[in-house]
Amino acid sequence: MSGTKNPVTARRGPSLNLILTAVVVVVAAAVIGGILLVNRSSGANGAPDERLVPANAHTLSRVEGGKVTLVEFLDYQCPACAAYYANVTKKLEQDYQGRITIVTRNFPLQMHPLALPAAKAAEAAAKQGKYREMYHALYDGFQTWAVNGRSTSTDAAAATAKFEEYAKDIGLDVEKFRADSASPDVQAVIDRDLADGQALGVSSTPTFFLNGEKFTPSGDTYADVDRELRAKIDQALGG
């Protein structure tokens, strides 16, 4: 939707409705320290360091030794993340599949009470080899579990039932999924992602890093952001 504004959700920010109109302030804040982050976020030969791409990172597309790595720190109950998914990242994943590496990291914000359970659902699905399927199910079904009208949903029981429905639909062992969702191993992965994001200066979602450099969009609409991100990717690919 080319006329749609480009919202970003700030940590400990305002209500859902205000979040959707506060993009300028949040994006401006994200610029602070950006140059320093670029220098800290790359390893030898420009390769992303372990804080960006740990050895067992989840990928939506993977190219071994590829020229481009896009990392997103996300919150599954974040309305801005869901809007980016619908307008930018879902199509990006399709169009650049097998050409770039796309990594997703958990960054559930405290303002979203169902973000952590959703992250646990994604990580539990990963234990059965179905991370990508659950990632898509959570965002494709965002309106059915993450919001209640125009407000952020707080109904954990309803969300859990929906997550288990997704698990069944994508062919998971639901009992194992339920146990893994509550396991210390899953919580540890989320805690690691949060710690890495904080060390990299992530304070809002979605936050992207392209080849180790924080991507701060300048456009006002999702179409603008999409064009800007694709241009940077194509340049890095040498196209």
Per residue of the chain (239 residues), give pLDDT as tens: 444 555 554 444 444 444 444 433 333 344 334 433 434 444 434 455 789 999 899 999 999 999 999 999 999 999 999 999 999 999 999 999 999 999 999 999 999 999 999 999 999 999 999 999 999 999 999 999 999 998 999 999 999 999 999 999 999 999 999 999 999 999 999 999 999 999 999 999 999 999 999 999 999 999 999 999 999 999 999 96
Instruction: For the chain, report the end-to-end CA distance as a whole number of angstroms.
Output: 26
Cα(92)–Cα(179) distance, rounded to whole angstroms? 33
Superfamily of domain 9-237: Glutaredoxin (3.40.30.10)
Integer-rounded Cα radius of gyration of the chain = 17
In 3D space, the residue among 66, 82, 67, 72 whose CA is nearest the CA of residue 114 turns out to be 82
Strands 147-148, 204-205: parallel, antiparallel or unpaired by DSSP? unpaired
Whether the upstream peptide bond of residue 206 has omega within 30° of 0, thus cis, is yes
What is residue 11's predicted lDDT score, i.e. its pLDDT? Answer: 43
Is this prediction's pTM over 0.75? yes
